[in-house]
Amino acid sequence: MYVTNQVQNAVERYASHAEPRLTCRRTPGETRCVPNGETTMGETATMKARAGTWLRHSAFPFLVMISGFLLARGQSPAAPSIKVVDLIPASLSGETNQDSEPFLAIQTANPQVMVASAFTPNPFSSTGNAPVYVSQDGGKSWALNAITPVQRMTCDITHAIATGENHPRGDLHAGTLACLSGITLDESESNDVSSSAVMSVQSTRGNVDQPFVRALGVSSGDRIYVGVNDFNQSNGHTATVDVSVDGGATYKSIPIETRKTMGQDGPSVRPAVASDGTVYAAFFGWRKFDGKTAVSDLVVVRDDSAAMLANPFQALKDPSDKLPGRIVVKNTSIPWSNAPTLGQERIGSTLSIAVDPNKSSTVYLGWADRGNKGDIYTLHVRRSTDRGLTWSKTDLPHTTIRNATNIALAVANNGVVGFLYQQLSNGRWVTHLVQSHDAFTTAQDFVLATVPANEPAEQFLPYLGDYDYLLLVGNEFRGVFCANNRPDLANFPQGVTYQRAADFTSKTLNDGSGNPVAISIDPFYFSVPVIP
């Protein structure tokens, strides 16, 4: 969700989540959210009954049996080392939702267990809980589990299973936005993601936007860091990190902006956590905003004690004004549009930060801005090797990407950095995973998907999502992205597996009973080995 605060004499607050399932508009006194139309599932009665039985009884073995049949039928001749999987379960083969904006959490102690999410509504009940996708076999199969504390569908959701955590079914921490009657953040936990029990809400409050969750497991309990754009903060210092150092039992909201804003900061506030307790966070400090362009500083803060002490996130100070927060790029122009602008996608707050898990002095930062003349939206990647004190003065080689969005960065145990992004190229959305062991002087590019950008027609914005996600597990990069789901092997150069009923010969979807199903946007999981 994108929410903005614009100053016109007095501060005027407004929300702009263009054409969502729920249309939200922020006024000075309240936020009103009203239905914006229902999207039909396109399921037969048989499909609904079969899927409904699974949701009531959490019958994972039943769903795996069905999807296993379809894997044999719909799998391309992909190299076994690279995996791309459509997350939609076989039992929902008839759905036609725009399941955009994906996210992923992995149980690192047992990487067979993973949780993914997207703008996927509860397919059986308008009053039931919004679902997540759960895999218990390393991503080969996925099933819906309606356990979030939000009704029907989230307005935003990110989540993390703490690195180092050893719960057999994952100790999942999530930040979800509900907006049925107002924008409300729930910070919640599940100790068993395969259970049908709804996540336990540990903290809740309103007037915030775009939660982004990271977590680290330590002997004393999980440490949780949630980047949010918090309109409850004073003086327009909305860039905030919610911190819990006791597994979510208590949270403290810490504003990380220290400079004058135009009334708020950009929606994206991204934390990154190293195993030694170093915590970074990146955000866009909005200095001017005219409704179309946000003139922004790109700022990074750091804390060296897991944000556990008084006055956290003060370790980095900028030499220009001695204030906390290192300005990596000053006064860059961020185009802002809640209408289809890059293909059918909106733009305005693309940001990612990643720290080397074994060398917290090395951190990578990626973002999008207006770029060169003629570009709509341009990606950039910079690096610091001294804990954020100084940064590369120009983009790293081969990381200035024209007309692209949804950057996600991650660093492997051997120092290899992964760079996930989606580029609009020749009328197609092309999803890339680039890896490099030398800061992109040389690199290896894996194209995961290349799909038509003009179909299907957008149902709401964001079309693909305001972000995708990339993680490191062992010797693999794992992640999620969204794309047109037409079952065409030419669209997936590394191969692809569909759980939902698909005919790769005719390049069509069906509902499992032979009835045709229109193409739509689906979430896809992938895993790619880390290069040596």
Q: Tell me the backbone φ, ψ of residue 122, rounded to 5 degrees.
A: -60, 120
In this predicted model, what pLDDT tens digit does every residue of 184-208 receive, in sequence order?
A: 999 999 999 999 999 999 999 999 9
**Is residue 22 pLDDT above 50, yes or no?**
no
- With a pLDDT cut of 90, the percent of the chain lying above it is 79
Q: Tell me the backbone φ, ψ of residue 52, rounded to 5 degrees.
A: -60, -35
Report if residue 132 sits inside a domain.
no
- How many residues does this entry show for the chain? 532
- pLDDT at residue 168, rounded to an integer: 62
- Average pLDDT value over all residues in the chain: 86
Report if residue 76 sits inside a domain.
no
pLDDT tier at 27, thresholds 50, 70, 90: very low
Gap between the Cα atoms of 369 and 372, Å rounded: 9
**Is residue 361 pLDDT above 60, yes or no?**
yes
- pLDDT at residue 374, rounded to an integer: 80
Beta strands of 336-426 (E only): which ranges?
337-342, 345-347, 351-356, 359-369, 378-384, 401-402, 404-411, 417-425
In this predicted model, what pLDDT tens digit does every residue of 449-497 receive, in sequence order?
A: 999 999 999 999 999 999 999 999 999 999 999 999 999 999 999 999 9
Mean pLDDT of 244-264: 97
In this predicted model, what pLDDT tens digit does every residue of 313-330 receive, in sequence order?
A: 999 999 999 999 999 999
**Is residue 23 pLDDT above 80, yes or no?**
no
Report if residue 326 sits inside a domain.
no
User: Do residues 288 and 295 make contact, with C-beta atoms less than 8 angstroms apart?
Assistant: yes
In this predicted model, what pLDDT tens digit does every residue of 362-403 receive, in sequence order?
A: 999 999 999 887 889 999 999 999 999 999 999 999 999 999
**Is residue 34 pLDDT above 80, yes or no?**
no
Report if residue 166 sits inside a domain.
no
**Is residue 100 pLDDT above 70, yes or no?**
yes
Report if residue 478 sits inside a domain.
yes
User: Do residues 470 and 479 make contact, with C-beta atoms less than 8 angstroms apart?
Assistant: yes
- pLDDT at residue 1, rounded to an integer: 65
Into how many domains does the chain fold?
1
Mean pLDDT of 127-153: 96
- pLDDT at residue 2, rounded to an integer: 63
- Give me the domain span that covers residue 515: 336-532
Return the closest-CA partner of residue 88 out of 395, 518, 530, 524. 524
| Order of all β-strands in the sheet with 103-106 | 103-106, 114-117, 132-135, 143-145
User: Do residues 385 and 364 make contact, with C-beta atoms less than 8 angstroms apart?
Assistant: no
Gap between the Cα atoms of 502 and 71, Å rounded: 10
Report if residue 79 sits inside a domain.
no
Report if residue 31 sits inside a domain.
no
Report if residue 67 sits inside a domain.
no
